[in-house]
Chains A and B, each alone.
Chain A
């Protein structure tokens, strides 16, 4: 059974710092990996999708990498801002080897950017 782990569980940094969020998964047979952002009491906002054949994706100040063989992904946030404060979730697609479709999620990293 796929397990997704996110480290650290919580992170507090001053504004302007560059930071890295980590995600690891136990089964490398994935189709893609997706990073989401969740604000308190709200739904999920998709940030980046990396297909299994890709190594990285970039959107603005965000860069996500994927090393499928080692079961790892990182989300790099450049020049952090207070508006980046949120919970960041990593999710991997479920493999085609039986079972339901959909995503398997990590428990998230709660990020606070101090002004």
Chain B
């Protein structure tokens, strides 16, 4: 079974902090994604990566950056956390373009 693991289930950070959310997949997938999920807005794509060191912006990249130094690991970085970034963050991976996506368990981030 594909396993996508997010480093934390719950995080509480202060406004202005630099925050790192980590995601690791164990199936040698090419593509990795970061989404955020908010009540009433659903899931929205923040960034995705289709290869090591490659990244592309999704629908809501403002205030975020990403890093993919190794194929199995994709990090989401909040450069200066703000309260409007309080959300559930979900990482996903897929073998190739437009193939089945597998999700991690989510990280609920609260910025105070």
Chain A residues at the B interface, C-beta cutoff of 8 Å: 31-32, 34, 36, 41-46, 49, 89, 91, 93, 100-108
**Contact at A101–B50, with CB atoms within 8 Å?**
yes
Q: B105 interface residue, CB < 8 Å from A? A: yes
Establish whether residues B45 and A102, one from each chain, have CB atoms under 8 Å apart when the complex forms. Answer: yes
Is the beta-carbon distance between B42 and A105 smaller than 8 angstroms? Answer: yes
Tell me, yes or no, whether B74 is within 8 Å of chain A by CB.
Answer: no
- A contact patch SS: strand
Q: Is B69 engaged at the interface, CB distance under 8 Å to the other chain?
A: no
| Nearest Cβ on chain B to A80's Cβ, whole angstroms | 24
Bound state CA distance, A107 and B104, in angstroms?
A: 19
Smallest CB–CB gap between B89 and chain A, Å? 10
Binding site for A on B (CB under 8 A): 4, 6, 31, 33, 35, 40-43, 45, 48, 50, 56-59, 90, 92, 97-106, 108
Distance between Cα atoms of A90 and B4 in the complex (Å):
20
CA distance A32 to B48 in the complex (A): 18
Tell whether, in the assembled complex, residue B100 and residue A34 are in contact, meaning their CB atoms are under 8 Å apart: yes
Instruction: Let me know if B59 and A31 touch, CB within 8 A.
Output: no
Residue of B with least CB distance to A107: B42
CB of B56, distance to nearest CB on chain A (Å): 5
Given A32-B98, A34-B100, A49-B100, A100 and B48 contact (CB-CB distance below 8 Å): yes
